[in-house]
Amino acid sequence: MSSFEGYALIIAGFLAGAFLIIYLSRTMNEAAIDVLLGVVRGIPLTLEHRWLTLLQIYLGMHIAILLVEVFLFFAFLMIAGDTDGSVQRLGYLAAAGTGFAFLANLAWGTLTLFKCMSVLRQAAPKSK
């Protein structure tokens, strides 16, 4: 692979991944806010709807973000392995950045998931 192709693939992968992750993160964060507040545009949500929002929308977006980051990690590693010189270093740097983003999103998203689950459990009616 030529240097130009390597640079082009790294830049294209980075830009596409960044826009996709930003969109998915926004949707994921909106779902978490809906679950925590229990209100969407002034309309209260039932506890069941809050659980569905958490498990379907929030968790789905979280898994999608992690899958995009894993895909980009391996794509950048493949590009780095197929080139040499500065393109190779840039590929490894992009893979390292994507790997760090994966770990950060895994930790933060899991903590947010557990916080939302805790809030929903506390909101559940107590049975006697």
Please give the model's pTM, rounded to 2 decimal places. Answer: 0.87
- Over the stretch 45-83, which tens digit does the pLDDT of each residue have? 999 999 999 999 999 999 999 999 999 999 999 999 988
- CB environment 93-114: b (16+ within 10 A), e (fewer): ebbeebbebbeebeeebeebbe
Q: What are 23-33's pLDDT values in tens digits?
A: 999 999 999 99
Does position 43 have pLDDT exceeding 70, yes or no?
yes
15 in helix, strand or coil?
helix
Confidence of residue 127 (pLDDT cuts 50, 70, 90): low
Which range scores top for mean pLDDT: 58-67, 79-88, 116-125? 58-67
Q: Please tell me the distance from the alpha carbon of residue 93 to that of residue 87, in angstroms, as a whole number.
A: 10
